[in-house]
């Protein structure tokens, strides 16, 4: 009997190690003029609803060359590490987004909110020159390395579309407050969720040593599946986008309720978080140069090492983890919003 109990306990421990778990979701509230929102009509227009799922990441480091002590010359060295998650069913990601949106709408309606249609929003001055979009088609163009999903048949508007990417003004929040006024003081809501996989994993000591030695470009990364407050993503050579996790409500007269994460909330049991992925490249050094008459010409080569590696996981756990984390964040944010309206 004792052996049976020990075996059962061992199986329970093994299961708990492999089971999916989610770190505590801690929410930071950034509300303004809440008292004004309490008197607002319970009408809601959903301007944005998107989930961004990371499936690929590109890490690059360059060690700049130049003249070295002793007179030699060193070329540039570049290390590039490309990590990708294989086998993820994009249709399952879309279904997850559809489900979360339906639950969001149901929860808003359960406390008395009327959902305003995109056609009604189109009658406003703000949207008169904006482009109407229809959700349900996952996009790779919006944020490199991510699949962005919006709910199926969800109508929404964007001010500018360029090469498949929607551009957002730096004054977007003010535009949504203006939209609220133009819809007879209805609430305007946005939901944005960022579920990244990869992060830099090189320690500070290792980076310092690499710089001190010089001549070596090194990249170290690992998987850390999580919800995150915000990540800057490079979208062009000199441009970028901040991918956020945020539930927000905008109301006329500058009132707003914004709910974000205080810190990352890791989704455990999907990836091996301890495994590190690396790429490195040592620089070419020309110690002697070539004689060109009375001159010595140095010509070291610029070298680049590019490594592409798969980061395996159980695809079903990937989708389920994103579902659990997204739902928990949205539900807790809505609870805080409803509480603010009833104080």
Q: Within a domain: residue 1?
A: no
| Average pLDDT in the chain | 86
Domains of the chain: total:
1
Q: Look up the domain containing 192 and give its range.
A: 20-342
Instruction: Give residue-wise pLDDT tens across range 31-76.
Output: 777 777 888 889 999 999 999 999 999 999 888 877 776 667 788 8
> How far, in Å, CA of 102 to CA of 106, rounded?
6
Which residue blocks in the chain are alpha helix, DSSP H?
A: 2-18, 34-38, 90-110, 118-121, 172-182, 204-213, 315-342
β-sheet with 198-200: strand ranges across: 198-200, 216-223, 276-282
DSSP per-residue letters across 125-166: TGGGGSEEEE--S-BSSSSTTEEEE--TT-EEEESEEETTEE
Lowest-pLDDT range, 11-20, 192-201, 220-229, 237-246? 11-20
Helix/strand number for the chain, H first, E second: 7, 27
Tokens of 214: 């010089």
SS3 state at 36: helix
Identify the top-confidence range among 3-17, 53-67, 171-185, 282-296. 171-185
Residue 178, pLDDT score:
93
Residue 12, pLDDT score:
41
Q: Within a domain: residue 2?
A: no
> How far, in Å, CA of 342 to CA of 189, rounded?
18
> How far, in Å, CA of 43 to CA of 183, rounded?
9
Residue 341, pLDDT score:
87
> How far, in Å, CA of 239 to CA of 246, rounded?
22
Which band of pLDDT confidence, cut at 50, 70 and 90, is reported for residue 1? Answer: very low
Q: Within a domain: residue 279?
A: yes
Asked whether the beta carbons of 277 and 310 are under 8 A apart, the reply is no
Instruction: Give residue-wise pLDDT tens across range 306-321.
Output: 999 999 999 999 999 9
DSSP 309: E
Tokens of 220: 């170290």
Q: Within a domain: residue 11?
A: no
State which H helix or E strand residue 180 sits in: helix 172-182
Q: Within a domain: residue 166?
A: yes
Q: Within a domain: residue 8?
A: no
Lowest-pLDDT range, 22-31, 46-55, 73-82, 283-292? 283-292
Q: Within a domain: residue 294?
A: yes
Q: Within a domain: residue 143?
A: yes
Nearest to 314 by CA among 271, 266, 278, 279: 271
Give pTM, 2 decimals.
0.86
Asked whether the beta carbons of 303 and 284 are under 8 A apart, the reply is yes
Owner of token pair 């498949």: 164
Instruction: Give residue-wise pLDDT tens across range 158-190.
Output: 998 887 788 787 888 899 999 999 999 999 999
Average pLDDT rounded to a whole number, residues 220-236: 89
């Amino acid at each position: 009997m004792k052996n049976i109990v020990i075996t059962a306990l061992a199986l329970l421990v093994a299961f708990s190690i492999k089971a999916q778990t989610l770190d505590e979701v801690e929410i930071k509230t950034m509300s303004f003029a809440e008292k004004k929102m309490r008197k607002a009509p319970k009408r809601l227009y959903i301007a944005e609803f998107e989930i961004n799922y990371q499936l690929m990441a590109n890490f690059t480091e360059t060690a700049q060359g130049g003249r070295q002590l002793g007179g030699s010359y060193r070329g540039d060295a570049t290390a590039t590490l490309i990590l990708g998650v294989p086998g993820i069913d994009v249709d399952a990601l879309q279904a997850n987004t559809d489900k979360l949106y339906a639950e969001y709408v149901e929860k808003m309606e359960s406390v008395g909110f009327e959902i305003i249609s995109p056609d009604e929003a189109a009658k406003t001055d703000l949207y008169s020159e904006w482009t109407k979009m229809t959700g349900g088609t996952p996009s790779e163009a919006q944020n490199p390395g991510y699949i962005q999903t919006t709910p199926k048949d969800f109508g929404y508007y964007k001010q500018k579309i360029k090469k498949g990417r929607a551009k957002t003004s730096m004054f977007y929040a003010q535009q949504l407050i203006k939209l609220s006024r133009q819809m007879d003081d209805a609430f305007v809501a946005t939901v944005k969720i960022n579920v990244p996989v990869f992060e830099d994993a090189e320690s500070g000591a290792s980076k310092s040593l690499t710089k001190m030695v010089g001549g070596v470009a090194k990249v170290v990364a690992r998987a850390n599946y999580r919800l995150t407050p915000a990540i800057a993503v490079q979208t062009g050579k000199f441009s970028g986008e901040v991918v956020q996790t945020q539930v927000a409500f905008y109301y006329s007269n500058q009132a707003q309720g914004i709910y974000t994460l205080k810190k990352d909330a890791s989704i455990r049991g999907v990836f091996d978080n301890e495994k590190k992925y690396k790429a490195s490249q040592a620089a070419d050094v020309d110690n002697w140069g070539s004689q060109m008459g009375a001159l010595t010409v140095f010509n070291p080569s610029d070298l680049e090492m590019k490594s592409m590696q798969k980061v395996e996981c159980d695809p079903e756990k990937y989708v389920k983890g994103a579902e659990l984390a997204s739902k928990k964040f949205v539900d807790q944010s809505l609870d805080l919003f409803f509480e603010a309206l009833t104080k």
